[in-house]
Amino acid sequence: MSNNSKFQIKTSDTIKCLSSSENGMKIAFGDNSGNIFLADNEGNIIWEKNIGEGTYGIAIMKDGNRVVCGGKDCKLRMFNSLGNVEWEINVGKSIWSLSVDPNGQVIVIGTGDSIAMFTESGTKLWEYDTRRAMVGVGVSRNGANVVACGDEFLYCLDSEGTLSWKKQRSDALWDVDIEKDNNAIIIGGWDCTVHSLDLQGNELWNFETNGYVRSVRPLEDGGVLAGSHDHKIYKLNDKGEAMKIFDTESEIACVSTSLSNDLIYAGAGNSILGFDIHEGHVPEFSNESIDVEQTDNEVNESPMSEEYEPMFGFGMFDEPSPDTTEILERDNYVENEAPTSTRNYSTNSENYTSNYQSSSPTYQDNSENIDRGGEYREFAAKVLKGDVKNYLRLGNAAWAEKRLERAAEHFRKATEINPDEPRAWHNLAVCNYHLALKRNPDDVEGAVESAFGPLEIAKEKGGSEYTSVNKTLAFLASQIGIEEKN
């Protein structure tokens, strides 16, 4: 149990979503196996159900008795006070996030490719196509405004489902919510920062944590509750200053609180933790809020600090990263057959190279498409068309700035210039893996599969002299429960 938690509820699988009633007397939560629970504020289970597949969105209605939820099984369900299904709708696609307006009149869900609004009785009001999974969603009072996020994109819609604006952030987002009376939008994501925005999407302040921000909730007093990968829950005031910090022993997946803010709840690993607001510790030095003016598509170009955790687990769990060692001379490459795996991921390298390159977007060699990333400015003077070394350097620099999409473009270009350079294929595979996890953190097998093809090419092209690929292959194999054969 966490040092300062009031209670702990253990579950058999990872907690994915959490909601508190207004008075904090009840909490509802769901896990990755589709188990749904309603508990009281002492940690006692009132009822539990299983919907068969992972639950990714849940909310207690304003009356405090009913629970609405959605998940992988594509169904939106309302449970009554006894835990029986009051109504059920098949929306035809997985539900990735869910929110209910403060008055309990409308339910908003984020699906695998859209945002949709329903009445509390389950009638669909509208749906807006996004063509990407909406991993976070929030709604203000009576559904006046809806916000949602997926990948690097942030959406704001009005009560009729008409797009007010769409903006691209500098990195992928995990969660978004909106203050009940539209005073502020709160977002958190892979940049390890809590951001407060106005209703037009302009930045008001931000607060940096030591891990990516998985969950954010506006508070009644104008502050923010945020859960981070650094195992901490932050209670911030309306200026973005840390007032209380709660320590846990696991990554925070979701947070919630009562209307009075006296009770705070968090999903951490396979546990629900309850906290008394007075038990959190006051930080010795509050992180000063930063007033920022940001335009659409603005990119954060400041270099990261040495202790900054740029991506999911990097430096913490020995996950793969690009190979930045000196490029091997081609004469040292030793011909070697592609490895055989116990899984069916093996691909003929010539076919893979041809198919992969022909289906990839064309890389444009001009500064406009390179974007405003610092890696371009740093190496622009060195880039010579056709020089694979420079594109590897560009990719490595983009990676260091946490810009996976840009890094993947540089590494992909390197494979086109010199298909025999193993480092280019290896680094592209690493980017593929982490980009896939960012899009769907639960599809580890899919992420491994996206990396396996280029990794096999890297091993074939590099031969026995190129050993960096072996560690990456071994790690990916371990993620799906097999042993890589050398």
CATH for 76: 2.130.10.10
Are the C-beta atoms of 133 and 115 separated by less than 8 Å? Answer: no
- 327 pLDDT band, cuts 50/70/90, is low
Backbone angles phi, psi at 42, to 5 degrees: -105, 0
CA–CA dist 241, 224 (Å, integer): 10
331 compared with 220, residue with greater pLDDT: 220
pLDDT for residue 225 is more than 50: yes
Residues 138 and 236 in one domain: yes
Range of the domain at 346: 330-479
Q: Which amino acid is at 55?
A: T
Q: Which of 257-271, 317-331, 372-386, 401-415 has the lowest mean pLDDT?
A: 372-386
DSSP 261: S
Order of strands, sheet of 263-268, starting from the edge strand that comes earlier in the sequence: 7-10, 271-276, 263-268, 252-257
Residues 31 and 137 in one domain: yes
Residue 349 lies in a domain: yes
The total of other beta-carbon atoms located within 10 Å of residue 274's CB is 22
Residue 232 lies in a domain: yes
Are the C-beta atoms of 21 and 64 separated by less than 8 Å? Answer: yes
Residue 448 lies in a domain: yes
CA–CA dist 211, 11 (Å, integer): 24
Map residue 354 onto helix, strand or coil: helix
Are the C-beta atoms of 156 and 199 separated by less than 8 Å? Answer: yes
Q: Which of 219, 247, 279 is at the close of a domain?
A: 279
Q: Which residue has the tokens 């992969």?
A: 356
Are the C-beta atoms of 462 and 422 separated by less than 8 Å? Answer: yes
Split into its structural domains, the chain has a count of 2
Residues 338 and 269 in one domain: no
The total of other beta-carbon atoms located within 10 Å of residue 367's CB is 12
Nearest alpha carbon to residue 132 among 149, 145, 147: 149
Residue 102 lies in a domain: yes
- 319 pLDDT band, cuts 50/70/90, is low
Are the C-beta atoms of 147 and 173 separated by less than 8 Å? Answer: no
Residue 433 lies in a domain: yes
Nearest alpha carbon to residue 286 among 248, 240, 246: 240
pLDDT of residue 386: 52
Q: Which residues contact 159 (CB under 8 A, 6 or more apart)?
A: 142, 143, 144, 145, 146
Nearest alpha carbon to residue 152 among 398, 375, 368, 402: 402
CA–CA dist 87, 363 (Å, integer): 50
By CB neighbour count within 10 A (0-12 exposed, 13-18 middle, 19+ buried), where does 164 fall? Answer: middle
Residues 75 and 173 in one domain: yes
CA–CA dist 412, 431 (Å, integer): 10
Residues 14 and 130 in one domain: yes
CA–CA dist 274, 85 (Å, integer): 27
For 265, the enclosing helix (H) or strand (E) is strand 263-268
Residues 38 and 126 in one domain: yes
Overall average pLDDT of the 101-116 stretch: 94
Residue 77 lies in a domain: yes
Residues 360 and 226 in one domain: no
Work out the angle at residue 415's Cα, subtended by the Cα atoms of residues 411 and 416, and round it to the nearest 5 degrees. 115
Q: Which of 36-50, 129-143, 244-258, 381-395 has the lowest mean pLDDT?
A: 381-395
Residues 29 and 93 in one domain: yes
Q: Which of 31-35, 125-129, 230-234, 362-366 has the lowest mean pLDDT?
A: 362-366
Q: Which residues contact 46 (CB under 8 A, 6 or more apart)?
A: 26, 38, 39, 40, 83
CA–CA dist 344, 456 (Å, integer): 13
Residue 254 lies in a domain: yes
The total of other beta-carbon atoms located within 10 Å of residue 239's CB is 15
Q: Which residues contact 278 (CB under 8 A, 6 or more apart)?
A: none
Share of the chain above pLDDT 70, in %: 78
Residue 307 lies in a domain: no
Q: Which of 262, 279, 296 is at the close of a domain?
A: 279
Residues 108 and 177 in one domain: yes
Residues 215 and 354 in one domain: no
CA–CA dist 255, 97 (Å, integer): 14
CA–CA dist 214, 33 (Å, integer): 20
Are the C-beta atoms of 457 and 320 separated by less than 8 Å? Answer: no
CA–CA dist 214, 307 (Å, integer): 20
pLDDT for residue 452 is more than 70: yes
pLDDT of residue 475: 85
For 447, the enclosing helix (H) or strand (E) is helix 444-462
Residues 129 and 275 in one domain: yes
Residues 267 and 369 in one domain: no
| Domain of residue 443, CATH code | 1.25.40.10
Are the C-beta atoms of 13 and 270 separated by less than 8 Å? Answer: yes
If you average pLDDT over each of 80-89, 296-305, 390-399, 404-413, which comes out highest? 80-89
pLDDT of residue 80: 95
